[in-house]
Structure 1
Amino acid sequence: MHNSLTFGNLLDDAALFSLEHQLHLQEVLGDHSWHADLQQPLFGFTGDHTITCTGFHLLGSAAPGPGTWLWAWANPSGFPDAVVAAATGLRDFGHQHGIPELVSPEVPFAALPGSPTQPHLAAGLITEAAKAVTGMWTSYQGDAGGGTRAAFLVEHPDFRLPAPEPTRVMSVVQQGLTGLALHDRRRALHSYATRRGLGADFARDQARLSGPGFEALLEFDQLGRLSSIKATLSRP
């Protein structure tokens, strides 16, 4: 099969939009603890804000012992179909597009981009790719014991992003393009702009990003790295 979509593409597609969702999640939850009952099924948070998720999806777990990611649909413990439906859908997508990381029941950390050695980093990569496929953008990692990290996609109205705000958008763009391990920063920026409802025009080594109340000119160097951002706010 000719494969025009890669795991790395999915990471770039998810990067900035996912980052903004995770920043928003931190603000919504504050200090918190989490609890889950996979058989009910039930997932929620207590602390500064008590939230019972309207939906959640177990993607799988990353374990330090074997140094592998185990997809939820391949876990011998077995889980309700509704809990692993998103993970199962990702496996089907992986078969369709020839993406081995989504298809293999158990994925070695070393087979993931950057060869992470820590479970939370490996789980994070899988989760980012999952977001780009499922369109569910808020995730949570929980301690499953023994250093193992369980990864979930979680849903609740409070987790939805507010309307784009210039300062937050520019912070996300700068933090994401300079701090995340991206394969193609232009692709990442275009994906974010599309999903956030922003304008994005690309010409050679420049990109012009626009949205409610702002416009920004971004410049990239010969290696595709962000070299400068010049933003201006629109008068009301």
Structure 2
Amino acid sequence: MHPGLQNVANRAALYANLKQTLFGEVLEEQLGEHQIDGDMSAGTLRFVGAERSLTARIHLIGSVAPGPRSMLWGWAHPQGGSGVAAKVKELGEKYGITDLTTAELPFEPGEDVGETVAALAHLVGYVGVEATRLSPYYTADVGGGTRAVFVLEGIEVPEPALMQVASRLGYVLSAGNITDHRSTVLGLAEHRPGFTATEDGNAIRISDETGHVEFTFDDQRRITNASMKLKGADQGQEH
């Protein structure tokens, strides 16, 4: 895997995962069972339920193709190139991250090329969230096993609460696609309005007006413990 892409993805991964969960809840609550109708030329994605639909404006961040075994950034894609997609390249130029300024990145297929494509698509989604500050993201099979990755605008998705940070943490980390836990915790506070991060040695405390979650890390920047304390509550929770 490309280390520059992975490092950028790490920063947004925890926040992006939380938003994806909340996005799924919005679709379930407002639409129930639904179908998806995309129109690349119009730049829209419709989630169509039995009685109503939700429409999002889409921005192509990248596409991952099993044939050439490569990922093409949206800013270099014939159907991409929008100002939003260009923010990925701008982030790469600002910090000298060549993975973001190189139009096409090859990848090794692994034992299952489909699983590799899907995993890389999620990393591209995290990069899109980090670079554009837009979420949620969406990955779609556009034929031949190729997955297109978009960030969405126009569907209101609530911000994650501290309780959700703690309850979702184990699931997010078990996916195995975050290689720097410390960076992703700091990134959560950068993305989520109202959260602040305080570092103290091997610990980081994420706080808002409701309380805090304190994370501890080992010398390889992996989370070893997360404890939550809500204001007005006598007992915290550990994970």
Q: TM class by shorter-chain length?
A: 0.7 to 0.9
Match of 2:232 among 215, 231, 235: 235
Is the CA contact 1:38–1:80 (under 8 Å) kept in the aligned structure 2?
A: no
Aligned AA for 2:229? T
Match of 1:109 among 104, 107, 110: 107
Quick check: 140-149 or 120-129, which moved more? Answer: 120-129
Going from structure 1 to structure 2, the CA distance change for 1:96 and 1:206 (only over 3 Å counts) comes to closer
What secondary structure does 1:150 align onto? strand
Is the CA contact 1:220–1:226 (under 8 Å) kept in the aligned structure 2?
A: yes
Between the aligned partners of 1:137 and 1:192, the Cα distance in structure 2 is 13
Aligned AA for 2:219? Q
Residue-by-residue CA offset, 1:164-199 (whole Å, 9 max, x unaligned)? 533212123444455443333222212212332223
Return the TM-score normalized by structure 2. Answer: 0.79
Shift of 1:116: 9.2
| 1:98 corresponds to 2:96 | yes
Is the CA contact 2:64–2:70 (under 8 Å) kept in the aligned structure 1?
A: yes
Structure 2's unaligned 5+ residue stretches are 234-239
Between the aligned partners of 2:156 and 2:27, the Cα distance in structure 1 is 10
Partner of 1:66: 68
Between the aligned partners of 1:139 and 1:189, the Cα distance in structure 2 is 19
Partner of 1:182: 178
Partner of 1:79: 79
Partner of 1:37: 39
Between the aligned partners of 1:25 and 1:7, the Cα distance in structure 2 is 24
Quick check: 90-99 or 120-129, which moved more? Answer: 90-99
Between the aligned partners of 1:80 and 1:118, the Cα distance in structure 2 is 23
Between the aligned partners of 2:169 and 2:189, the Cα distance in structure 1 is 10
Partner of 2:196: 199
Match of 1:121 among 119, 122, 127: 119
Structure 1's unaligned 5+ residue stretches are none
What secondary structure does 2:24 align onto? helix
Q: Number of paired residues?
A: 222
Partner of 1:216: 213
Return the TM-score normalized by structure 1. Answer: 0.80
Going from structure 1 to structure 2, the CA distance change for 1:173 and 1:211 (only over 3 Å counts) comes to farther
Shift of 1:14: 0.6
Between the aligned partners of 2:54 and 2:166, the Cα distance in structure 1 is 29
Is the CA contact 1:206–1:218 (under 8 Å) kept in the aligned structure 2?
A: yes
Aligned AA for 1:189? V
Identity %: 28
Match of 1:153 among 142, 145, 151: 151
Between the aligned partners of 2:206 and 2:39, the Cα distance in structure 1 is 43
Partner of 2:164: 168
Residue-by-residue CA offset, 1:47-71 (whole Å, 9 max, x unaligned)? 3662111x21012311111111123
Shift of 1:154: 0.8
Partner of 2:53: 50
Residue-by-residue CA offset, 1:107-164 (whole Å, 9 max, x unaligned)? 11249xxx996212122212211211111121101110111111111112422x24x5
Going from structure 1 to structure 2, the CA distance change for 1:80 and 1:18 (only over 3 Å counts) comes to closer
Cα RMSD after superposing both structures: 2.8
